[in-house]
Amino acid sequence: MRHVIALDVGGTGMKAALIGDDGALLHRARRATGRERGPEAVLAGILGFAAELRAHGVEQYGEPARAAGIAVPGIVDEATGTAVYAANLGWRDIPLRALLADRLGVPVALGHDVRTGGLAEGRIGAGRGADRFLFVPLGTGIAGAIGLDGRVEAGAHGFAGEIGHIVVRPGGVACPCGQHGCLERYASASAVSESWAAACGNPDADAADCAEAVASGDPNAVRVWQDAVDALADGLVTAITLLDPRTLIIGGGLAEAGEVLFQPLRAAVRRRVTFQKLPAVVPAALGDTAGCLGAGLLARDLLTTTTSTTPEVSA
């Protein structure tokens, strides 16, 4: 059976799948990234995991994968297939596409994790059917993927979509990027966790705890949550003004709060919009499978570059 390999490499874990010609998920697997053992061990783990997936495909389906796609964090040069830099993984200038292609003997596509997840959300998830969308996952940090007619824009230098570093509070909290007042310092899951831990006096409290307290009407939690929502709305309206998306897809850990997030966020965005056209603000549909599914789409694209359509991957 014809199939492709899909790999999503995160800071702590790797998700993988074999995806068939009809878009079906034939096999799923997970492994620890092993970053505590250093960048060389991480790379060896990725290559070994990919080789295991290839062997599984041969054993189960009678032939090796036709292509592979891999999504990684950090700075990625898709054109050259280079993993330029990832602080969490400790690597620099890794020719990952070439290394994987050599190990697997098939074409390989390399993508940025958020852009790859956005590709999946745009084609087969919450943005399906939208010609223009913006995917914003709210996790440890905040990033974005700009969707245009079934593809995701990387930008001239691979930095397109870095909405987390829009300054929403000038002169505010210092950000590791070198600026002060960046969006992700106020509206990421980690920022909410930090604010709520300080407000409630429990150093172990996190954003999920804050959302629960908001739902129960805790006034301190409501204040912390609304501060984050207001900062997020400021950043999103800046992006809406620049990009004019038809659909705004919000994912990541904070989105798991459901309407506790989306009801005040939609209201805050609506209050800030003047001449701009208000996009649909919707939750992401694919959860933590988006990166892996997107990697599968990248691999499928390698096999369909001579056709006018791209087969879909189903969740």
Residue at token pair 């074999």: 18
First CA to last CA distance, the chain: 19
The pLDDT, as a whole number, for residue 306 is 39
The pLDDT, as a whole number, for residue 269 is 98
The CATH number that applies at residue 21 is: 3.30.420.40
* DSSP type of residue 133: E
The residue segments making up the domain with residue 144 are 126-284
Helix residue spans in 63-140 (DSSP H): 96-104, 113-124
The answer to whether 7 and 50 have CB atoms below 8 angstroms apart is yes
Helix (H) or strand (E) holding 259: helix 259-272
Q: What is the DSSP pairing of strand 68-72 with strand 25-32? A: unpaired
* DSSP type of residue 126: T
Residues 26 and 60 occupy one common structural domain: yes
Q: Work out the number of other CB atoms within 10 angstroms of the CB of residue 97.
A: 24
Residues 66 and 152 occupy one common structural domain: no
**Measured torsion, CA atoms of residues 189, 283, 170, 178, in degrees rounded to the nearest 10:** 60
In angstroms, rounded to a whole number, what is the distance separating the alpha carbons of residues 257 and 242? 28
Residues 21 and 102 occupy one common structural domain: yes
In a domain, 204, yes or no: yes
Instruction: Give the number of domains in the chain.
Output: 2
Residues 131 and 280 occupy one common structural domain: yes
The answer to whether 311 and 137 have CB atoms below 8 angstroms apart is no
In a domain, 313, yes or no: no
* DSSP type of residue 279: P
Residues 104 and 141 occupy one common structural domain: no
pLDDT averaged over 10-residue windows placed end to end, the chain, 315 residues: 93 91 88 90 95 95 94 90 88 95 96 94 93 94 92 88 95 93 96 96 96 97 98 98 96 95 98 96 94 94 62 49
Residues 136 and 276 occupy one common structural domain: yes
Residue at token pair 């003047």: 274
The pLDDT, as a whole number, for residue 312 is 52
In angstroms, rounded to a whole number, what is the distance separating the alpha carbons of residues 174 and 305? 44
In a domain, 310, yes or no: no
In angstroms, rounded to a whole number, what is the distance separating the alpha carbons of residues 302 and 205? 44
**Measured torsion, CA atoms of residues 52, 58, 63, 66, in degrees rounded to the nearest 10:** -10
The pLDDT, as a whole number, for residue 35 is 86
The answer to whether 89 and 39 have CB atoms below 8 angstroms apart is yes
Residues 145 and 85 occupy one common structural domain: no
Residues 79 and 220 occupy one common structural domain: no
Phi then psi dihedrals of residue 259, to 5 deg: -65, -20
Nearest to 53 by CA among 71, 33, 28, 70: 28
Residues 153 and 294 occupy one common structural domain: no
Residue at token pair 């079934």: 150
In a domain, 222, yes or no: yes
In a domain, 311, yes or no: no
The pLDDT, as a whole number, for residue 159 is 84
State the pTM of this model: 0.88
Residues 104 and 218 occupy one common structural domain: no
In angstroms, rounded to a whole number, what is the distance separating the alpha carbons of residues 161 and 183? 13
Residue at token pair 């909405």: 163
Helix residue spans in 201-218 (DSSP H): 207-215
For residue 216, give the amino acid letter: S
Residues 132 and 218 occupy one common structural domain: yes
Residues 137 and 72 occupy one common structural domain: no
